[in-house]
Structure 1
Amino acid sequence: MNTPRPSRRWRGRARVALLCCGGVFGFVGFLDVYGGVGMEARSDGALLLVAALILAGCHATDLHRATGRALRWWARLGADVTAFGVGAWTGNRLLSNIVLQPVLAATSAFVLVLLALAVFLAWEDHRSPPWVAAGPAPAATAPAAGPVPGPRPPVLDAATAEGPSARAGVLAAAVGAAATLLAAALALPQFWYTARYAPSTAPPIVSVGTTLDDIEVVDDHMELTLEVEIENKGSTAVRMLTSLYEVTATPVRVADRPLPAGDPAQSYDGIFGGDYGAAGRVNSYAAYGTPQQIQVGSVGDDNAWIGPDETYRTTLRVQGPRDGFDLLRATVDVIVARADRVETEEGHRPSGRRLFTCEDGDVLMAENRRPLAHTGVFDRLTESDREVVTFWVLSDPAGGDASPWWSPFPWAGVSLQHTGHGCAHALRTDEDGLEDRAMVGRASAVAEAAMPEPEPEPKAERKAERKAKPQP
């Protein structure tokens, strides 16, 4: 009695396990195709669903009794290659963010089992190709004796019976059907690109405008109106992750002739040393003093949603000193991202920023953390938990960007990072690509206005005041 090899004995069980893995991929793909958020999640689901259907079709072809031996061998090999490709692709997604989390560990174990099954079955199929005969070929048998059938009369179809005109009509119909299918095949990719791909990859485009209006001197102080407009000019919705505005006042000394070359105001290092935008300048006749901060705050709520062609407006009243300053300046910084790529978990509404001192360098900062929602089931299985961290840096012992145009603190920043990092992680540049994937960008604006001169008192009022004063 011949005992089958252990590999043959386990081959059937491995096939069943591989089919079960394909069922898992198909279930995950089905959920993401109909419930995934965004084009990327649904594309991943569609790929998994197609791979599961290929695995099911290959196994069905292998199990069908009427299938030839060569076709069954190719079906088994196709299932092995498909399973290995999906496993390698999933493993690559896991390696892109190696974080110790239970879900990622379970998915990694599943992928290793899948790859082992695919390699084992492919090796077994390689050892038993279809061109190796299963046994001796059966002997040919002579045909039974009997009358030799004569030639059959030709059977005329409708096109042949009706003549060349009917054949031309059938050919024209076939050509028309083929042209229709070809036109649909050519139009479908263009429709998919216009309706799905282009909107899902469009970058956020916002413009920021700020103005200083209604500047007036009231009693012993100055008042003005600050207006900020954030307009979404793109075709996709954006999230205003965080924002910061600052109003400063600067003393200005204006000379009648150009300042000497050795004057500190003529040093070009001040504008070469940093990116100050329109506020950085070198003036041959004016020397700018140290800016004094008057008012600072947020333009709006963090994580605010701004749809296409919508405008987010903020109007504020600012009060400040009336003496000692000549130039008023308002700066606005806004950090935005695509709204569908920074969706936060439902029900998470932080009460505000947490003010604390960061352990790395004693940096005083105000921080806010929101967990990011997963876009689909496959994303939850292959991507670690992530969060968006918005922060303001209020002071730093190492110092900040010293400039004659605005104070170095506070400044705002955003970090998209894996959950579990400390506060120091947000202060340095990360190379994990989460900000690039979410299309995080910054928009800024600067507005300036002259400090108003105090209005002279009317002569009649001055005379009344002199008469009211007691005479010595």
Structure 2
Amino acid sequence: MTGTPWWCWCWRVALAGLAAGATGTLLIGLRDLFRASDIAARITGGVLVLVAALALGAIVTAFSGRSRRQWLPGAVAAAVMLLLSLWVAVSILSWRQVELTAALVVSVLIAVTAGYALLLSQVVRTFAAAPPPATDEGQKNPGEPPTRRGELLGALATLAAAVFALPLAWYSAHYLPTHTGPSVSIKLQFGEMTAHKTQAAVPLTITVENTGTVDARMIGSLYEVSGVKVLASPASTGPEPLDLDRLKDMTDDNYGPGARYSNTTHMEEPELIQFGQVVWDQSTLLPDETTEATIMVFFPLRTYDVLRGGVDIAIARDDRLPIGRPVPGEADPVGTVTPCGPASVVVREWPIETGSLLEQLTEERREIIRGMVIKHPDADGSWWSGVPYLEYQVQRLRETCEHLFAPKGELEEESMAGLSGAMGEILVPAEMAPRAP
């Protein structure tokens, strides 16, 4: 290439700007490669280092080269930085927080510069000096080594083998382990019921086992015990015809096994006796690990015919929800009764920690919120006690409390979060149950 026309200077200025972006990418990658908190973030950091090193090497080659193919390394560097910046920009497009504005602006600026450099590289290629005539059949361009067909075929064969082998290795070594959801088994069992002074007492044992292959985070837990009075039809009365109103009451909502229909008995609405936590909030259960709690439940004599127990635990994959440190100046999260619209909820919040510098620059600030609803005007107590009940959300930082009742979305899916539960009943012995009328 001869002379220094304006388009050549513009091309070099654009490449210099891309070199600055590649240097920043290299520093981010090095930081994450050695200091990120999880292996996936460290692998991403290593990829950033390789990509940035490729771009920088191509830019240096473009500046120092003197052949007619000087445009090629510049085009490679521009293409690499264009793809990288577009990937970062797309990952930020759903942002709603001002902290990510700077990263979005920088990534868009690099993408525009890379596109500009890519176009100018074609101009450089078009107006470059024509190659000197070939002087030898084995050396068409002086100073450039001939291409050997055998070496080319060997390289293509190696590349083809890698194309088939690498996806399989990635799928088994990375994709499956990182996309397996948590799984827990919950067992609820009442013990022997006894009279104690003026009350009846029964032990309730709750066992939680991690039956999956990944660590399970228990965001929050709730057990509750309620009493039910059962009214039986007289023995002389035969089976009643199907009562459509009662059938509708049973099928109005997704009540679970607590709801049932019988044409010889009628269960009244349950009355709450006792509730509490099963485990500490944000506890982690390792694969095949089991935790067990036995709680004594007291209730008035001759009041209920059946005791009904229920357990709900909000779980998520542990490595998807790294808990960060509390906001400076604030104490550890403590449950507070918070008005959430018409409801009253005991709310606890934990900020989610980002595992790498790249995540800090490209991901929104998020938090886990656990709510124990203790008052709600729309609570349905037909078959279960209307309150309390458990709610949870993985949400963007500083969402309003009402968002706790919003449908679960992409953040919960990303965290592999969900509810796991169990239910059990026990018949109250006749000597402790209500007397027959």
TM-score range (shorter-chain normalised) is 0.7 to 0.9
The match for 2:110 is 114
Q: Could you say what secondary structure the match of 2:80 adopts?
A: helix
Distance 1:193 1:35, change over 3 A: farther
Structure 1 residue aligned with 2:230 = 252
Larger Rg: 1
- Seen in structure 2, the aligned counterparts of structure 1 residues 134 and 95 have a Cα distance that, compared at 3 Å, is same
Check 1:185–1:90 CA distance in 2 against 1; reply closer, same or farther (3 A cut).
closer
Distance 2:158 2:43 in 1: 27
Aligned CA distance change for structure 1 residues 15 and 422 (closer, same or farther; 3 Å): same
| Root mean square deviation of aligned Cα | 3.1
Native 8 Å contact 2:214 2:287 kept in 1 = yes
Task: Give, in whole Å, the separation in 1 of the partners of 2:357 and 2:58.
Answer: 25
Q: What is the DSSP-based 3-state SS (H/G/I as helix, E as strand, rest coil) of the residue aligned with 2:193?
A: strand
Partner of 1:350: 332
Output one character per residue of 1:130-170: Cα deviation in whole Å (capped at 9) or x when no partner. Answer: 5x4537x88999xxxxxxxxxxxxxxxxxxxxxxxxxxxxx
Partner of 1:68: 67
Tell me how far 1:378 sits from its aligned partner.
Answer: 0.8
Residue number in structure 2 paired with 1:309: 288
In structure 1, C-alpha distance between the alignment counterparts of 2:349 and 2:305, rounded to whole Å: 40
Match of 1:368 in 2: 348
Task: State which drifts further: 8-17 or 89-98.
Answer: 8-17
Whether 1:202 aligns to 2:180 is yes
Deviations 1:292-338 (CA, angstroms, capped at 9, x unpaired): 11001111111001111101211111111111210001000011000
Per the TM alignment, residue 202 of structure 1 is displaced from its structure 2 partner at its CA by 1.1
Amino acid of the residue matched to residue 319 of structure 2? D
Question: Is the partner of 2:192 in helix, strand or coil?
Answer: strand
Tell me the distance in 1 between the aligned counterparts of 2:40 and 2:173. Answer: 14
Q: Which residues of 2 match residues 432-451 of structure 1 at below 5 A?
A: 433-451=410-428
Number of the residue aligned with 2:254 = 275
Match of 2:241, SS state, is coil
Q: Alpha-carbon deviation of 1:377?
A: 1.0
Alignment of 1:397-408 (within 5 A): 397=377, 399-403=378-382, 405-408=383-386
Deviates more, 1:184-193 or 1:212-221: 184-193
Residue 351 of structure 1 deviates from its aligned partner by 5.1
Aligned residues: 409
Q: CA–CA distance in 2 between the matches of 1:369 and 1:420?
A: 10
Specify every segment of 5 or more residues in structure 1 that has no aligned partner in the other structure, as ranges.
142-177, 456-472
| 2:320 counterpart residue number | 341
Given the superposition, is the C-alpha separation of residues 182 and 17 from structure 1 closer, same or farther in structure 2, using an over 3 Å criterion? Answer: closer
Q: State the alpha-carbon separation in 1 of the partners of residues 60 and 199 from structure 2.
A: 85
Provide the secondary structure at the position in 1 that maps to 2:263.
coil
Contact 1:25 1:49 in 2 (8 A): yes
Question: What TM-score do you get using the length of structure 2 for normalisation?
Answer: 0.85
| Alignment partner of 1:383 is 2:342 | no
Q: In structure 2, what residue type is equivalent to 1:69? A: R
Cα contact 1:217–1:452 (8 A) shared by 2? no
**Which SS does the other structure have where 2:112 is aligned?**
helix
Q: Residues 258 and 20 from structure 1, CA distance in 2 versus in 1: closer, same or farther, beyond 3 angstroms? A: farther
- Structure 2: state its 5+ residue gaps: 136-155, 433-437
Distance 2:221 2:323 in 1: 18
1:442/1:139 Cα in 2 relative to 1: closer, same or farther (>3 Å)? closer
SS in 2 for 1:312: strand
Deviation at 1:430, TM superposition (A): 5.1
Over 3 Å counting, the alpha-carbon distance change for 1:38 and 1:272 in structure 2 is farther
Partner SS state of residue 61, structure 2:
helix
- Aligned counterpart in structure 2 of residue 129 of structure 1, from 125, 130, 136: 125
Paired residues for 1:20-35 under 5 Å: 20-35=20-35
Deviates more, 1:295-304 or 1:121-130: 121-130
Alpha-carbon separation, structure 2, partners of 1:279 and 1:64: 77
TM-score normalised to structure 1 length: 0.79
Q: Provide, for residues 165-207 of structure 1, a one-character-per-residue CA deviation record: whole Å limited to 9, x for no partner.
A: xxxxxxxxxxxxx999998986665454333332211110111
Q: Distance in 1 between matches of 2:95 and 2:103?
A: 13
Q: 1:261 to 1:138 in 2, by over 3 A?
A: closer
